[in-house]
C-alpha cells in the first residue's frame, strides 16, 4: 500500500470513531476517502475526503518530503468535507450542526498528530470553510488538513 493511501485510510479510521458513544457531538451516518457530492448522500451527517496537491522537496537523491521544506506546516493538502441536513436551513439548528461537525472532525483528525504512522511528521489544520445550500437544507463544512510526511522514491 502506498504511503498516501495509508494516510487517507488513517484519517478515515479516525473519522470512523465519530459517534456520540465515543464522546463526540454527532454520530456519522457514513464516511469515505472517496468524494461524494451531498446530492448523493442518503443519510446525514456524512463525511468524504478529497486528496489535494502538494509540492515535494528532495532531501537526498532518493528521499523526499511533502511540502516546501522538512520543517513547517506546509504539506500534502487533504480536504475533509462534511454534510449535515436539518429540516429548515434558516434555523439556528443548521449552524449548530455545522459547528458540531467541525468540532468533531478537528478532534478526530488532530488527536493523533502522526496518524499512528511512523513516517508522518504531523498533521495540521490549514483552513475551515462553511456553505449552506438553503434549497436542500444541507450544510457543508470543509476542513483542509496539511500532512507532513517523508518518503523514498521506491516507496512513495
Tens digits of residue pLDDT in 86-97: 988 778 999 999
Give the structural domain span for 71.
3-152
Count: domains in the chain: 1
Residue 45: HSE in the Cβ half-sphere, 13 Å Cα cutoff: 29
Residue 47 near residue 81 (C-beta atoms within 8 A): yes
Give me the mean pLDDT over the 104-120 stretch.
Answer: 94
* Tens digits of residue pLDDT in 46-84: 999 999 988 788 888 888 888 776 666 689 999 999 999
pTM assigned to the model: 0.91
Amino acid 6: pLDDT? 95
* Tens digits of residue pLDDT in 3-27: 999 999 999 999 999 999 999 999 9
Amino acid 156: pLDDT? 67
Give me the mean pLDDT over the 113-141 stretch.
Answer: 94
Amino acid 80: pLDDT? 98
CA distance 6 to 83: 24
CATH of the domain at 15: 3.30.2000.10
Amino acid at each position: 500500500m502506498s504511503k498516501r493511501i495509508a494516510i487517507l485510510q488513517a484519517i478515515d479510521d479516525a473519522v470512523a470513531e465519530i459517534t456520540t458513544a465515543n464522546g463526540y457531538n454527532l454520530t456519522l451516518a457514513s464516511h469515505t476517502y472517496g468524494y461524494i457530492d451531498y446530492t448523493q448522500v442518503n443519510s446525514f451527517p456524512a463525511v468524504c475526503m478529497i486528496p489535494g496537491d502538494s509540492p515535494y522537496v528532495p532531501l537526498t537523491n532518493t528521499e523526499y518530503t511533502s511540502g516546501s521544506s522538512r520543517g513547517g506546516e506546509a504539506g500534502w493538502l487533504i480536504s475533509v468535507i462534511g454534510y449535515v441536513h436539518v429540516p429548515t436551513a434558516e434555523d439556528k439548528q443548521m449552524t449548530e450542526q455545522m459547528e458540531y461537525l467541525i468540532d468533531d472532525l478537528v478532534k478526530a483528525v488532530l488527536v493523533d498528530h502522526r496518524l499512528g504512522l511512523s513516517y508522518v511528521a504531523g498533521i495540521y489544520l490549514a483552513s475551515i470553510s462553511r456553505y449552506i445550500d438553503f434549497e436542500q437544507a444541507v450544510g457543508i463544512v470543509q476542513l483542509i488538513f496539511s500532512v507532513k510526511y517523508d518518503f523514498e522514491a521506491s516507496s512513495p
